[in-house]
Amino acid sequence: MTASDNIYDYARLNGFDTQTARYVVAQSGHETAGWTSSIYLKNNNAFGMKYAGQINAAGQKNGYANYSTVRMSVQDLGIWVHRRAFLIPFVSLTHYVHFLKMNRYFEDSEANYLKGCENWYNKLYNG
């Protein structure tokens, strides 16, 4: 299985519907430069999450949440999203990215972050 397949499966196991799980995978692809970043490889952090006391993190390494497994980072993203969007369905990738921006998940401009996520979404799911 590929990293994207694993993250999709973990997202589904953590309560994301089929479409939102794809948005989560696209987000992960963007955040990790296609699962090649040092944060992903050394910290098992599939989303470039900075350490803020996450439940499943083993601590921090270089300022980022450090996980024993990638699955634990997906669980923490699920906890973060579900606390803020309980039962809110995301109708599009644009809607999901807007939700992330409004909840201060990332510092980049919304347009740039969306472009990165769309790039990965299109690569993985053919638009």
Distance CA 99, CA 44 (A): 24
pLDDT value, residue 88: 74
Q: Which residues in the chain land under pLDDT 50? A: none
How far apart, in Å, do the first and last CA atoms of the chain sit?
A: 21
pLDDT value, residue 68: 97
The pLDDT of residue 1 is 85
Say if pTM beats, i.e. exceeds, 0.85: yes
| The pLDDT value given to residue 89 | 84
Residue ranges per structural domain of the chain: 3-35+69-125
Exposed, middle or buried, 41 (CB in 10 Å: 0-12/13-18/19+)? exposed
